[in-house]
Amino acid sequence: MLTIEYCGYHTHNPDQDLIYRPAGTLSYLFLLALSPMSFYFTDGTSQAARPGACILYAPGIYQHYQAEKEFFNSYVHFFCSDSMVSEKSLRINELFYPDSAERLNWLIKQLYHEYLNPTADSKEMADLYLRQLLILLQRDQRKENIPAEQRSGIYPELLALREQMLSSCEQPWAVEQLCDILNIGKSQLYLYYRRFFHSSPKEDLIQARLQKARYLLTNSNVTIQQAAFDSGFQNICHFNRQFKLHCGCTPGEYRDNLQGR
């Protein structure tokens, strides 16, 4: 279980206050800067940070930072297994600018509340919030690996279109339609889609339709044919083949298993 050692939300220290811990701390420290600050590292380099910058210090890592003027930040010291951080390939002792800074700050606010007002389930809630925080950091660091020109260009549009497609998977989406919306060719669409989502539009659409079909089949009042059509499959034979291929059984067998259970 992940546990809080100490945390602060919207913390104000004296102007130009300096934090200097050459031996670090026993716990991990996640710090979200809310005012301009300067960070110093063991290799002798320094880096100016704008509001919204964050850093994850591992236990025993050199910590040295100072506010340029106003000292304003949110932070949480927490205990976590090193394996959890390494499994998520999180970068430590390195500044970066997350897209989800507001959501990260909201999570620190919830952690601060659990820390100040402990109840019987506070440790469990803190564990859940800390896990969310690490997942958001992982997602934001993955986004940073996407070249800036792509993140500000085709990626936001493609991401929004993908979400629209998967949330309305029953609609007859076609590759040509996606290309027209994005104003790109087929080869470019497949290239970007594979790079960003490690899949293809067809593969994603089939998975979304099967997921919806499985949900519809939990309702005994819905026929198998209706579940197929309502989830976007226009051919019942194609639906049966895809269902057996990806789910390991026929739609009828899937429903029988549900009813037997």
Whether 51 and 17 map to the same domain: the answer is: yes
Please tell me whether residues 74 and 179 are part of one structural domain.
no
188 and 82, same structural domain? no
* Segments forming the whole domain that contains residue 7: 3-144
Dist CA 52 CA 50 (whole Å): 6
Question: Final residue of a domain: which of 118, 144, 170?
Answer: 144
**Domains in the chain, number:** 3
Clarify whether residues 128 and 177 are in a common domain.
no
* Radius of gyration of the chain, Cα coordinates, nearest whole angstrom: 24
- If asked whether residues 133 and 15 sit together in one domain, one would say yes
Residues 76 and 171 in one domain: no
- The pTM of the full predicted model, rounded to 2 decimals, is 0.71
Residues 48, 122 within the same domain: yes
Q: Are 195 and 210 in a shared domain?
A: no
Supply the CATH number for residue 234's domain: 1.10.10.60
Same domain, 32 and 110: yes
Task: Give the domain-ending residue among 200, 217, 235.
Answer: 200
Mean pLDDT by 10 residues, the chain (261 residues): 96 96 96 97 95 96 96 96 88 90 96 95 96 93 64 80 95 94 93 91 96 94 95 95 94 88 63
Same-domain status, 138 and 167:
no
Answer with the one of 124, 144, 164 that is the final residue of a domain.
144
Q: Please state, in angstroms and rounded to a whole number, the distance separating the CA atoms of residues 2 and 81.
A: 8
Residues 153 and 126 in one domain: no
Q: How far is CA 112 from CA 18, 109, 152, 163, in A?
A: 22, 5, 34, 33
**Per-residue pLDDT, 152:** 57
d(CA 11, CA 112): 11
Cα separation of 189 and 167, whole Å? 19
The confidence score (pLDDT) of residue 4 equals 97
Are 179 and 74 in a shared domain? no
Measured CA to CA, the distance from residue 167 to residue 161 in angstroms comes to 10
